[in-house]
């Protein structure tokens, strides 16, 4: 037994949860030892609470015994944030997955943290409503995890990210105190904005037990354009032009040359533009109501034709989904270019998107490594993936440092939606000032004075 | 000279700002002694900085000499938040009113805190862009003040409030340290969300020197419906029905019976529905593009006709503004019903709007006082104004307490957009838990450990 994990604590948990909801055996713990980063950290135990009262008692006991606590959703994080880096207790929310309330008149939904984003979308669709944030993991990731990371997704361009939809939270603090961040009204300026402080806090400030979300009417129709470009940077210019025309597409996703290489290699050939020569793709999705959509569609068609750009267009839901399928398979395809990877999630102001792309191509050439640069270009948010094998790990580390430095020089940020977790903590002080970091540490202390919540995550030492 | 205001501090300020930008004479100070509450508090001195370096030096000196600091925009607050309750130095931002950067491609604007909301709107309109938050004071109030209170307005229903548009802040802390809350990118989850923590903090955590705002394309066209209702609560039912139809109007403003009485008395007669008998009005504004607007217009027309509701419709900008003028004159008209007033700014979930209205009518009858209940009903946000004269002040105090208690019982909040300031501090612990208040105090200490920033504002003792 780990000294951080006294047997009295374990016994108290067992009394609370019963043996079947307190996992202690190595083979059971293994399932909770990884996320979508490459890290593996075996927790000391895993709790599977079903009710908020249990969460309260767990946090009371954890404070009493000074045991590190790691809240966990579905483990789709890419940064090691739901892992027990110092050992300790993982609290997994898979059994707290109820939709507690949906009120059409208020346009709000109240959920437990373990509800899957995709399940919530499916539920709301029946009523003609919509929860826009759509991380690639949306079918598997939980709302609690989405709130903890401040998840985004392609639809961020038009609809914003998780922070724009969280109205109120119920949070349990170390020691077991329950904090309601505010009422579920659409407006409230009585307390400081505690709700937003928890969004993106990566489980370091408190543990969510209830989440109130704003929802919006489901757009009536979607139209997807996928275009092929000989000049790799052309899609980035097109996004700018389209925004200048005062259009706001739902999504504007860029797929770069190296990512296309990965997709082609992994599939044999790309199931789109098969007889064309192109070095990048742009996914542009419009949504809304029939007539305006029609007008916007004509505008885009004309724009593409004037520029001589090849494109496919889908208006039928299943055609649209088939085209998105190519975009969604990027992540698993990348391994054909290297067994290992650094997956960055950087954002630059839109006017610097091309500079970043050119820099990445130069790094690729200089270091002889594949570097993919795809993602939510409408927001300036790129998933930069550096592929490598063990023998060139040193080079990959250098390239990664170069990419992050370039992003910061271009007034950007090293994370737009994945968060810092464990794996990016070493870079936080490249972006943030000593004052920002000092304030983060003090804020953490306000909520978690003993430092038992997700230690070694988000905040640098 | 006040002991809180040592002469050495004054001398240092004079060296910094020169005599013409450091006001000390009583007749000059008087202009900075009031806001839109009924409070008067003469400051010890007023500083008029023109550059951020001056603000930094003022906050450095203030910390050194332990002098209370009160940041002030245009003084349109309704709560006493920009007043020097303990004496001290008011920093007025009227001379820091530059629009520093507008980037169409990024859809962001960077401003100094003293820019007027109305000036920013005018500036953006030239480029076809739009900053939606529109407090009634928008022609006179500053962006800095709007951010400090988290200002809303009628357009909140469709477009949200100030918090939804602030991307990043540059803040000076007591002692003179400069905190940038984050980059100006559209997404960033590296630090905790410090930006949102400052929105609505009412000058108690730091002093803004730069504000980066997201802006959106200007809607092409507006259509305003004003309808008259015999049954006072009917507009509240209609709002619900319209939201159920999945329409989201830009604004849905309710004017109740007692407010109509005030308007009629003050103007002689109301310049609308002159031969009709009605007890409430609903302002419903749609905006967007031609064809969909046309469809929504037809839908509303048909809906109103089916219900036999009288309405006027305006599609021309000047007709629309003329109709809004009636709404905008509510506040000055109310004095015909009482020399004094308590102006509340409560929010309830939409489903409880009618309960609140009925309760208010009952209180009006029981206590023999006029109580107006108008405002942003689309958000559940009502401006409840209790009118009284000196002789019935005791009753008014009781009525006010009753209203606030009822709001809290209906799961609402005592402030949706005006903030707490000085005058509502006594009610904060009715709404917030001891834990919420304890956390607010600790958060305040993180940024302002000596408590020199806006003391006696927002946080109860």
What does each of the 461 residues of chain B score in pLDDT, given as a tens digit? 455 689 999 999 999 999 999 999 999 999 999 999 989 999 999 999 999 999 999 999 999 999 999 999 999 999 999 999 989 999 999 999 999 999 999 999 999 999 999 999 999 999 999 999 999 999 999 999 999 999 999 999 999 999 999 999 999 999 999 999 999 999 999 999 999 999 999 999 999 999 999 999 999 999 999 999 999 999 999 999 999 989 999 999 999 999 999 999 998 888 889 888 999 999 999 999 878 899 999 999 999 999 999 999 999 999 999 999 999 889 889 999 999 999 999 999 999 999 999 999 999 999 999 999 999 999 999 999 999 999 999 999 999 999 999 999 999 999 999 999 999 999 999 999 999 999 999 999 999 999 999 999 999 98
- Count CB atoms within 10 A of the CB of residue A4: 17
* Of A295, A416, A435, Cβ closest to residue B177: A435
Comma-separated ranges of CATH 3.30.70.2190 domains in chain B: 220-329
Question: Radius of gyration (Cα) for chain A, nearest Å?
Answer: 23
Query: Are B184 and A428 in contact (CB < 8 Å)?
Result: no
Q: Where are the alpha helices (DSSP H) in B387-433?
A: 393-409, 425-431
Give the model's pLDDT for residue B291. Answer: 80
Please determine, looking at this structure, whether the domain spanning A99-217 carries the CATH number 3.30.465.10.
yes
Contacts of residue A219 in chain B, CB cutoff 8 Å? none
Query: Are A187 and B379 in contact (CB < 8 Å)?
Result: yes
Give the model's pLDDT for residue B4. Answer: 66
Judged by a CB distance cut-off of 8 A, whether residue A94 touches chain B is no
Query: Are A439 and B182 in contact (CB < 8 Å)?
Result: no
pLDDT in tens, A310-365: 999 999 999 999 999 999 889 889 999 999 999 999 999 999 999 999 999 999 99
| Minimum Cα–Cα distance from B180: chain A residue | A436
Give the model's pLDDT for residue A419. Answer: 97
Give the model's pLDDT for residue B1. Answer: 46
Distance (Å, rounded) from C-alpha A182 to C-alpha B319?
Answer: 40
Distance (Å, rounded) from C-alpha A75 to C-alpha B35?
Answer: 52
Contacts of residue B103 in chain A, CB cutoff 8 Å? 349, 351
Comma-separated ranges of CATH 3.30.70.2190 domains in chain A: 220-328
- The dotted CATH code for A220-328 is 3.30.70.2190
Comma-separated ranges of CATH 3.30.465.10 domains in chain A: 99-217
Contacts of residue A351 in chain B, CB cutoff 8 Å? 103, 105-106
Average pLDDT, chain A: 96
Give the model's pLDDT for residue A2. Answer: 53
Judged by a CB distance cut-off of 8 A, whether residue A443 touches chain B is yes
For residue B134, report the phi and psi dihedrals to the nearest 5 degrees: -140, 65
Query: Are A412 and B189 in contact (CB < 8 Å)?
Result: no
Return the bridge partners of A129, or none: A217
**B50 CA: distance to closest CA in chain A (Å):** 25
From 3.40.50.150, 3.30.43.10, 1.10.10.10, 3.90.950.10, which CATH number describes the B7-92 domain? 3.30.43.10
Judged by a CB distance cut-off of 8 A, whether residue B297 touches chain A is no
| Minimum Cα–Cα distance from A217: chain B residue | B246
* Of B163, B190, B193, Cβ closest to residue A431: B190
Distance (Å, rounded) from C-alpha A444 to C-alpha B439?
Answer: 12
CB-defined contacts A:B, below 8 A? 217
Q: Of chain B residues 99-138, which have a CB less than 8 A from chain A?
A: 103-107, 128
Return the bridge partners of A34, or none: A40
pLDDT in tens, A8-45: 999 999 999 999 999 999 999 999 999 999 899 999 99
**B241 CA: distance to closest CA in chain A (Å):** 8
**At a CB cut-off of 8 Å and minimum separation 6, what does B444 contact?**
B204, B205, B451, B459
ipTM here: 0.95
Query: Are A186 and B379 in contact (CB < 8 Å)?
Result: yes
Judged by a CB distance cut-off of 8 A, whether residue B299 touches chain A is no
Mean pLDDT of the region A47-53: 98
Q: If pLDDT is split at 50, 70 and 90, which confidence band does A1 have? A: very low
Nearest 10 degrees: CA dihedral of A395, A396, A398, A404?
Answer: 160
* Of B187, B197, B433, Cβ closest to residue A152: B187
Contacts of residue B439 in chain A, CB cutoff 8 Å? 179, 194, 446-447
* Of B193, B379, B440, Cβ closest to residue A191: B440
Contacts of residue A183 in chain B, CB cutoff 8 Å? 347, 411-413, 431
- Pairing relation of β-strands A45-47 and A89-92? parallel
Q: If pLDDT is split at 50, 70 and 90, which confidence band does A296 have? A: very high
Query: Are B415 and A188 in contact (CB < 8 Å)?
Result: yes
**A192 CA: distance to closest CA in chain B (Å):** 6
* Of B184, B190, B243, Cβ closest to residue A432: B190
Query: Are B104 and A348 in contact (CB < 8 Å)?
Result: no
Contacts of residue B436 in chain A, CB cutoff 8 Å? 179-180, 191, 194
* Of B163, B348, B411, Cβ closest to residue A193: B163
**B164 CA: distance to closest CA in chain A (Å):** 7
Question: Which of A59, A152, A190, A353 has the highest number of chain B CBs within 10 A, making it the mutation to test binding with B?
Answer: A190
Distance (Å, rounded) from C-alpha B253 to C-alpha B383?
Answer: 11
* Domain B338-419 top-level CATH class: alpha beta
Distance (Å, rounded) from C-alpha A1 to C-alpha B124?
Answer: 64
Contacts of residue A205 in chain B, CB cutoff 8 Å? 192
- The dotted CATH code for B220-329 is 3.30.70.2190
Comma-separated ranges of CATH 3.30.43.10 domains in chain B: 7-92
């Amino acid at each position: 037994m780990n000294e951080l994990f006294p047997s009295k604590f374990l016994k108290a948990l067992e009394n609370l949860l019963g043996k079947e909801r307190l996992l202690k055996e190595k083979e059971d713990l293994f399932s909770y030892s990884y996320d979508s980063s490459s890290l593996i950290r075996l927790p000391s135990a895993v709790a599977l609470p079903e009710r908020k009262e249990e969460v309260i008692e767990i946090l009371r006991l954890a404070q009493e015994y000074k045991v590190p606590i790691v809240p966990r959703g579905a483990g789709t994080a890419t940064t090691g944030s739901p892992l027990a880096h110092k050992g300790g207790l993982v609290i997994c929310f898979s059994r707290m997955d109820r939709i507690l309330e949906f009120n059409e008149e208020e346009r709000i939904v109240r959920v437990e943290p373990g509800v899957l984003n995709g399940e919530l979308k499916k539920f709301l669709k029946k009523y003609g409503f919509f929860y826009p944030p759509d991380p690639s993991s949306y079918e598997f990731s939980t709302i609690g995890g989405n709130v903890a990371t401040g998840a985004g997704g392609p639809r961020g361009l038009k609809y914003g990210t998780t922070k724009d939809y969280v109205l109120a939270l119920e949070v349990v603090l170390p020691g077991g105190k329950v904090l309601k961040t505010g009422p579920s009204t659409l407006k409230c300026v009585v307390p400081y904005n505690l709700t937003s402080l928890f969004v993106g806090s990566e489980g370091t400030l408190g543990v969510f037990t209830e989440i109130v979300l704003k929802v919006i009417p489901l757009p009536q129709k979607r139209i997807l354009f996928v275009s092929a470009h000989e000049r790799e940077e052309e899609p980035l210019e097109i996004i700018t032009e389209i925004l200048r025309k005062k259009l706001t597409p739902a999504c504007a996703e860029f797929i770069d040359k190296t990512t296309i290489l990965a997709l082609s290699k992994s599939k044999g050939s790309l199931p789109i533009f098969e007889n064309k020569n192109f070095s990048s793709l742009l996914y542009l999705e419009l949504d809304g109501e029939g007539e305006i959509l029609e007008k916007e569609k004509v505008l885009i068609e004309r724009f593409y034709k004037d520029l001589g750009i090849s494109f496919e267009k889908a208006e039928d839901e299943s055609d649209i989904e088939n085209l998105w399928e190519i975009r969604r398979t990027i992540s698993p395809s990348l391994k054909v270019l290297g067994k290992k990877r650094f997956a960055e999630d950087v954002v630059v102001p839109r006017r610097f998107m091309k500079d970043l792309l050119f820099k990445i191509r130069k790094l690729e050439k200089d270091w002889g490594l594949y570097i993919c640069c795809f993602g939510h270009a409408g927001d300036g948010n790129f998933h930069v993936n550096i592929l490598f094998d063990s023998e060139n790990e040193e080079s990959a580390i250098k390239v990664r440092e170069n990419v992050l430095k370039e992003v910061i020089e271009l007034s950007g940020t090293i994370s737009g939606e994945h968060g810092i977790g464990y794996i990016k903590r070493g870079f936080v002080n490249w972006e943030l000032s000593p004052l920002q970091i000092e304030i983060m540490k003090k804020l953490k202390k306000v909520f978690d004075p003993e430092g038992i919540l997700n230690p070694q995550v988000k905040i640098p030492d």
